[in-house]
Structure 1
Amino acid sequence: MKLKLNRRGVTQVSRAALVLPVLVASAMSGCSSINDAMAPDKIDYKSAAKRTSTLDVPPDLTKIEGDRRYSVPDQNGTSTLSTYNQSTKTVQQQANSENVLPVTQGIRMERDGNQRWLVISNGTSADKLWQSMREFWQESGFLLVQDSPETGIMETDWAENRAKIPQDFIRNTIGKVFDGLYSTSERDKFRTRLERAQNGSFEVFISHRGAQEQLTGVDKSQTVWTPRPSDPELEAEFLSRFAQRLGVQKEQADRMVKSGGTGATTAAAAPAAAATAATSGGNTTLTQVNGTQALQLSEPFDRAWRSVGLALDRVNFTVEDRDRAQGLYYVRYVDPRDTVDNRGFFSKLFTKTGTEDSKKAKKYRVALKGDGTGTTVTVQNDAGQPEGTDVGKRILSLLDEQLR
């Protein structure tokens, strides 16, 4: 390493000697930042919505009583030793019975295979629950493109998980000033579906759709956005966060995700619960029923209803209405052969559904009929007649791919 003396007599290190340690430090910090950013619990979505600071306090936060075991006894001269011992024993019993992190009652998570949903039976009204859902997605950094209390469907716009951007030395300096210069190659959107069960409780489903940017062309100079598979673990993470939004403690919500229950499952019972959930998914078979194409599910009606509803959400069908008693989903579907769209895939993927798309979409009914052990799924036209065209077969094929 060469040393040089300037006019003031101060030793100067050559440029190469100065740059090398900086690059090494930057690389080391960059690797650490990448690992941190890619951690599954790092989620920071950002859209065009204006982000405002929120008060991170659970809604049901109450002040925990202090430990009164060592409080000074009554000083008025009337307390006796036996009275003091009895009061101390009572306080000790109360302290042992208290739980610093109590289990929230009336909110639990159910699981069937890779599908999870929240069951809320704590007496919360539908209006209050819907408002909590709206605030939850907005505080998470999303714009809402569908907010329909009538159908129980709430859908976010496409957003980017900014936590996946590597936090290296350059990003931490230049990126703070020019944040828009950095972007990931993935986008996500979520659909929330609220249903009222037969016993009066509410069921909350969250489904995920993803897209990724890929290079195309001979010289890889162009990019296109293509769909990527849904992420059930990301759905479970947002279900957990929404449960916390409703007052569930984080530790309890984490146990909910792992066990698929209320969060009070013991460590010994957790492996059994996970094994049951992993093998609970039913098989699907495309078949013919009375000359009509049908999808046969080897699971009872209740489970099939949830599975088909979540599959419709993941495939992005427009569910206009549903009738659980009749086993009907009223959906809109756009036949690709009826559409001629000159827009690029990026424009079609990241723009809101316009009036032209709604005009091209046709109404269909997805009908479910259970026989006690299995469930048959068929497609009907808007008049309730069997849809024997290729469109009906295509809808069943899409559902089959999601339910496998």
Structure 2
Amino acid sequence: MSSRFFLLALVLLVSVVLNGCANYSASHEYYKARPEAKLEIPPGLDRPVEKLDMALPKVVDGNTTYSSYRGDCKQESSTLKMADQQNLSVVREGNFIWLQADANPEQLWEPTRNFLKHKGFSLAQDDDELGILESNWFEYQEDSHTLRDKYRLRFEYGKIVGSSEIYLSLRSELLSGDQWQPRDVDVELEIEMLKRLGLYLGDSEVEFSELTTADTEVSLQDRGKKGGLGLIINHNFNDTWRRTIQAIEKSGNTVEERLVNQRFLIARFEDESEAAKARKSSWMGSVLTPSQKHAVGRYRIEFFILDENRTEIQIQNLQGKVTSSKRAKQIMSQLEQTLSE
């Protein structure tokens, strides 16, 4: 009897010990998960400043005025700038404008994102693989009119190793009735925004230079259905590549893929006339289906080096076959006009 009692007591004792160990283990994990208290800072040392890249952007609404939107470059906050970034300059060549910097695109990407957020813009496109940042529309009031702007920033490696070129394109629209109508591009505002970006990135002064180059000669060649459409431009390949992308973006279209080593790009072109027709034919005028709202076409633009000072660009379908469709002719005519300016 006593041995049976002793055995029962031993079993109870073991179960109590095991249960206590289990509770200790769970409790130990719980305390490990608790946040550690911040260490005390020794005398004479300051606590590190918290990162500022998560600062909330300025609040923006449709009642923002144009003057407060543009502001004064000198009033930009210096606490959010990228430290010690030097040799930033805005360059203009005709209607083509870009920011040159002695830094790789990878170094400039995050500070530029923060710049847009700091200015109150939300991002519609944030693609570091394509090197494109694009804002959503920004509405503001000017002289009792409602306007809206959106910006696209494209990052390219510069001609010098370790440098970058940031291209900015602005789209601006005016509200007429219940429809948005495109406005002429404000080149001066594009320049101002790039200067602001340069100031934000860290330079106390952003230089501005205007390149004077020979007039660009552009000739449109229509070789029929077999030969397709081609633009012959009196620039080398690198300059033609850069200018063509900028021309596409300035007209409100999008370069989706850039394969510079294979000398072609894929671009998405919006057809405003088709969208307008769809709007008129819609039973409620402003009610459009998604396909009507975005009447677009995707094309392949290929570059051919004719000699060191001449390049030809050709419009093709996505399979690489030449096309002489009505829409293709419109696109090439638009490029001819923009590249000639």
Q: TM-score range by the shorter chain?
A: 0.5 to 0.7
User: What CA distance in whole angstroms lies between the structure 1 residues aligned with 2:146 and 2:293?
Assistant: 29
User: What CA distance in whole angstroms lies between the structure 1 residues aligned with 2:93 and 2:295?
Assistant: 35
Does the CA-based 8 Å contact 2:156-2:165 persist in structure 1? yes
Which among 189, 194, 208 is matched to residue 170 of structure 2? 208
Which among 44, 64, 69 is matched to residue 44 of structure 1? 69
Q: Shift in Å at residue 384 of structure 1?
A: 1.2
Which among 350, 360, 364 is matched to residue 299 of structure 2? 364
Distance 1:150 1:345, change over 3 A: farther
Superposed CA deviations along residues 44-103 of structure 1, whole A, max 9, x for unmatched, are 169xxxxxxx844363679xxxxxxxxxxxxxxxxxxxxxxxxxxxxxxxxxxxxxxxxx
Q: Percent identity?
A: 27
Does the residue aligned with 1:305 lie in a helix, a strand or coil? helix
User: What CA distance in whole angstroms lies between the structure 1 residues aligned with 2:214 and 2:287?
Assistant: 39
Does the CA-based 8 Å contact 2:112-2:201 persist in structure 1? no
User: What CA distance in whole angstroms lies between the structure 2 residues aligned with 1:395 and 1:301?
Assistant: 20
> What is the aligned residue count?
265
Does the residue aligned with 1:325 lie in a helix, a strand or coil? helix
Is 2:126 the counterpart of 1:147?
A: yes
Which among 150, 157, 171 is matched to residue 196 of structure 1? 157
Distance 1:208 1:360, change over 3 A: closer
Does the residue aligned with 1:385 lie in a helix, a strand or coil? coil
Distance 1:323 1:357, change over 3 A: farther
User: What CA distance in whole angstroms lies between the structure 1 residues aligned with 2:283 and 2:254?
Assistant: 21
Query: How do residues 2-401 of structure 1 correspond to structure 2 at under 5 angstroms?
Result: 42=67, 44=69, 55-57=77-79, 59=81, 105-122=86-103, 124=104, 126=106, 128-162=107-141, 164=142, 184-197=145-158, 199-214=161-176, 222=177, 224-249=179-204, 252-253=205-206, 256-257=207-208, 260=209, 274=210, 277-288=211-222, 291-334=227-270, 340-341=278-279, 342=282, 356=291, 361-370=296-305, 371-401=307-337
Does the residue aligned with 2:198 lie in a helix, a strand or coil? helix
Gaps of 5+ in 2: 1-64
User: What CA distance in whole angstroms lies between the structure 2 residues aligned with 1:110 and 1:334?
Assistant: 28
Distance 1:281 1:206, change over 3 A: farther
Gaps of 5+ in 1: 1-36, 47-53, 63-103, 166-182, 215-221, 261-273, 349-353
Does the residue aligned with 2:299 lie in a helix, a strand or coil? strand
Does the CA-based 8 Å contact 2:148-2:172 persist in structure 1? yes
TM-score (norm 1): 0.57
Does the CA-based 8 Å contact 2:78-2:200 persist in structure 1? no
Q: Shift in Å at residue 343 of structure 1?
A: 8.6
TM-score (norm 2): 0.66
User: What CA distance in whole angstroms lies between the structure 2 residues aligned with 1:343 and 1:148?
Assistant: 37
Q: Shift in Å at residue 140 of structure 1?
A: 1.0
Does the residue aligned with 2:121 lie in a helix, a strand or coil? coil
Does the CA-based 8 Å contact 1:294-1:377 persist in structure 2? yes
Does the CA-based 8 Å contact 2:121-2:138 persist in structure 1? yes
Distance 1:205 1:386, change over 3 A: same
User: What CA distance in whole angstroms lies between the structure 2 residues aligned with 1:326 and 1:369?
Assistant: 10
- Matching residue's letter, 2:137: W
Superposed CA deviations along residues 120-163 of structure 1, whole A, max 9, x for unmatched, are 223x561x42211211111112121111112111111221345x
Larger CA Rg, structure 1 vs 2: 2
Distance 1:189 1:241, change over 3 A: same
Which residue pairs with 1:78 in the alignment? none
User: What CA distance in whole angstroms lies between the structure 1 residues aligned with 2:321 and 2:228?
Assistant: 11
Q: Shift in Å at residue 243 of structure 1?
A: 0.7
Does the residue aligned with 2:330 lie in a helix, a strand or coil? helix
User: What CA distance in whole angstroms lies between the structure 1 residues aligned with 2:191 and 2:335?
Assistant: 21
